[in-house]
Chain A
Amino acid sequence: MRVIADLQLCQGHGMCEDTAPEVFRVVESEDGSYPHVEIVQPEPDAGLEEKVEEAVRACPNRALSLE
């Protein structure tokens, strides 16, 4: 499992971080506009799959995908 973020769609709402903080972190942007996601574990540890899938679904902007 590999997690990919489309930063053109991300607005940093943080639903992913709220759901699976082991994998996603929301960081401030340099220009002070929307924060954005940083994928801490692009290939999540075994056992996190379900949480990560839930986080991907929870994104209101469909900015996250799995491959």
Chain B
Amino acid sequence: MTDQPRPKIVSGAKPEIGHYEEFMEHAAHFLYRAYLECGELAEFDLYGAKHVLLASPDAQEAVYRAGEDEVSASAPYQYMVPVFGEGIQYGAPLEIERQQVRFMSDALKPKRMKTYAQMIAQEVEDYIADWGDQGVKEFHDTFKELVLRTSTHCLMGAEFRRRLTDEFGVLFEQLEDAISPEAVVNFKSEAEAFAKRDEARARLQEMLMQAVEERMAWKGEPPTDMLQSFLEARYKDGTGLAPELIPGMIVWIMFGGFHTSSNTAAWACLELARHPEYQQEVIKEVDSVYGHGEDLSFTALREMPVTEGFVNETLRLHPPLCTLMRQVVNQPFEYKGNVFEVGTNLVISPYVSHRLPEHFPDPERFDPHRPQPEHLFALIPFGGGKRKCVGNAFAFLQVKSILTALLSRYELSLVDPPETYREVMPSLILRPSHPCNLRYTRRQR
């Protein structure tokens, strides 16, 4: 057939490596260029592996609604298996993995969220208690530290959180080196980062396993946290998670929620500082619901349309994950007459989708008053379909708690010239460039 439609091929491929270098340099910018050049479907090559960017809500919907027997998430993410461990997530059969995700969702039910809201509120209040009347902080690192505290508290409970040392964060960073773009292609290489990753994973196993064993020996009413949920979780056949797999579950959920949330909090503060007029709107809402003796935990669970709109717009322009992959399996996958062969990697990019002018007019402009797009698959910071991020509501709770506590006390402003704050991608996560210094000044009330 000669008239069969085919995706356009992105320019600039090099022999053997294809578009690898440009993709590594800044995946989000590369994908955006691919869309500008080729439109809805853009084909590119990473070391001989064929990838197609699908850049329209319809195409994204087609992929997100397709079954696992058509497009697989497990196939392109096998490089995560050494990170989480065999028997966990994509290191387990599909029907097991789907139940493990349910264990996570059980641990994130509304009733549980109320408990987490209290833990998060306490951590946030403690964290900013000694900030004084004014100062300058590097907000990316600040929120990394804070979110590590809140996450470990909600996941592992107060005892583990109290014992939390710098080592835990360092080990986590070593693990993350394995998801640098380099690792995506060089999976199972002998590189130093990989050896470090395995070492770090083994040490994390030891630390987390100690907490699991302590909890199993707990006398009396156990705390309500995710560790406890995982210990009580049951597969449909009535069996539980093997205790030695629980550390992997914790590492998995941490991976999903740590940098994504901390980066979003940092981006939100940066946008608040860039837009004093919008900052005043958020402050007004914060003052109307908080600061008259209410619990922060109670407040953060309420509807806060202005603050939520602000966070949504932050996630639109700065989605932490820019590249989500699926692989065509079993039979060719068809979209609008285009046929993608088995083995093709289908790429969905929230970064690109959120800049489609038909759905987001004047896309580069930060506008927290933007209406939600009509199309359900246009705004996809958490992905979509059955594999949408399970921690969605938890992430909002976390970021709202941070913003509410911060803005009830301080105003934020830029320290450096506006153009020096850029978006960079040293890993697969989009983050503000270093240093992301912001000034906080106590509000006159």
Identify the A interface with B (CB < 8 A).
8-9, 11-15, 18, 30-35, 57, 60-62
List the B side residues contacting A11 at CB < 8 Å: 105, 386, 388, 390
A61 to chain B, nearest CB (A): 6
A12 to chain B, nearest CB (A): 6
Closest B residue to A63 by beta carbon equals B376
Closest A residue to B395 by beta carbon equals A60
Is the beta-carbon distance between B386 and A8 smaller than 8 angstroms?
Answer: yes
A17–B329 CA distance with the chains assembled, in angstroms:
36
Secondary structure at the B interface, as helix, strand, loop or mixed, is helix
List the B side residues contacting A35 at CB < 8 Å: 102, 105
Identify the B interface with A (CB < 8 A).
65, 95, 98-99, 101-102, 105, 108-111, 235-236, 303, 376, 384-386, 388, 390, 392-393, 396
| Cβ-defined partner of A18 (8 Å) among B101, B110, B376 | B110
List the A side residues contacting B235 at CB < 8 Å: 32
Q: A31-B98, A60-B393 in contact; A9/B105 too (CB < 8 A)? A: no
5 additional A-B pairs beyond A11-B390, A13-B392, beta carbons within 8 Å, are A9-B385, A13-B105, A13-B110, A15-B393, A60-B392
Closest B residue to A6 by beta carbon equals B376
A52–B46 CA distance with the chains assembled, in angstroms:
48
A39 to chain B, nearest CB (A): 18
Is the beta-carbon distance between A32 and B102 smaller than 8 angstroms?
Answer: yes
A31–B98 CA distance with the chains assembled, in angstroms:
9
Is the beta-carbon distance between B388 and A32 smaller than 8 angstroms?
Answer: no
A33–B388 CA distance with the chains assembled, in angstroms:
14
- Chosen A-B contacts, 10 in total, with CB atoms closer than 8 Å, are A8-B65, A9-B376, A9-B384, A11-B386, A13-B108, A15-B110, A32-B235, A35-B102, A61-B392, A62-B376
Is the beta-carbon distance between A33 and B109 smaller than 8 angstroms?
Answer: no
Is the beta-carbon distance between B105 and A12 smaller than 8 angstroms?
Answer: yes
Closest B residue to A9 by beta carbon equals B385
Is the beta-carbon distance between A32 and B392 smaller than 8 angstroms?
Answer: no
Q: A60-B393, A61-B388 in contact; A34/B236 too (CB < 8 A)? A: no
List the A side residues contacting B110 at CB < 8 Å: 13-15, 18
Closest B residue to A16 by beta carbon equals B110
B331 to chain A, nearest CB (A): 20
List the B side residues contacting A60 at CB < 8 Å: 392-393, 396
Is the beta-carbon distance between B109 and A31 smaller than 8 angstroms?
Answer: no
> For B109, B388, B396, which residue has the most chain A Cβ atoms within 10 angstroms?
B109
